[in-house]
Amino acid sequence: MQHDASRLTICVALSMLSAIAVAGGSVGQSPQSVYPKAAPLSEYLIKDRDAEIALARSAAPSAISGEATILVLGLHGYVPAVKGKNGFVCMVDRSWSAQFDFPEFWNPKLRGPVCLNPQAARSILPITYKRTELALAGQSKSQIIEGLKAAVASKQIPPLEPGAMCYMMSKQGYLNDSVGHWMPHLMFYMPIKAEWGADLPGSPVMLNPQFQNGPEKLNVFMVPVGKWSDGSPAPVA
């Protein structure tokens, strides 16, 4: 019973995300939008640089994040704060990394600590850089989409590398107003046609719609894990 209840909690959280595409309608500002436009830049920034570094490191166990490159958000985009040694890159995603019909696309409270492996750092991180560049330049969602289309067409965004994945195991994250830090999980980036049995009854794999309907066209599969990055136990599906 406890196992089923945990799974139900996770599914409710993901249903909220998956239902956005149905409830949100067009990419423009829909009646369901809780945050219809960007907040002032200052609300997306973390004033304490050391606090942002620590939050970024909390995405993965210290054996990984302790040797990773750390990025922090500046006035014009993400900049290196710590040079790493293992090829991983840890950072704190902001709301514009979400799918475009997410009602909290402009929520300045969102903080998503993530630690990308080397393959994802080379092929997924450029997407984050471009989205952030366009968002901080004051572009609307529609303009960001067009900017991404142009970046994909001109090969500014490289092809997905096999094996790209990331850690999201932070207790301190804030992924949306409904689920807070949610639960620790791993994410695997795959071609859009990849089939992992996501969301089927009994499957531990869940589909994140983050890039499905955007110009990037990727599948993102999420797999919950039983511990936070600090090693303490967490609820599992």
pLDDT 10s digits, 123-166: 999 999 999 999 999 999 999 999 999 999 999 999 999 999 99
- CA-to-CA separations, 121 to 42, 103, 112, 116, 158, in angstroms, rounded: 26, 27, 16, 6, 11
Among residues of the chain, what percentage have pLDDT more than 70? 85
Share of the chain above pLDDT 90, in %: 79
Is residue 71 within 8 A of residue 89, CB to CB? The reply is: yes
The pTM (predicted TM-score) of the whole model is 0.85
Q: Identify the weakest region by mean pLDDT among 29-33, 34-38, 201-205.
A: 29-33
Task: Say if CB 114 and CB 229 are below 8 A apart.
Answer: no
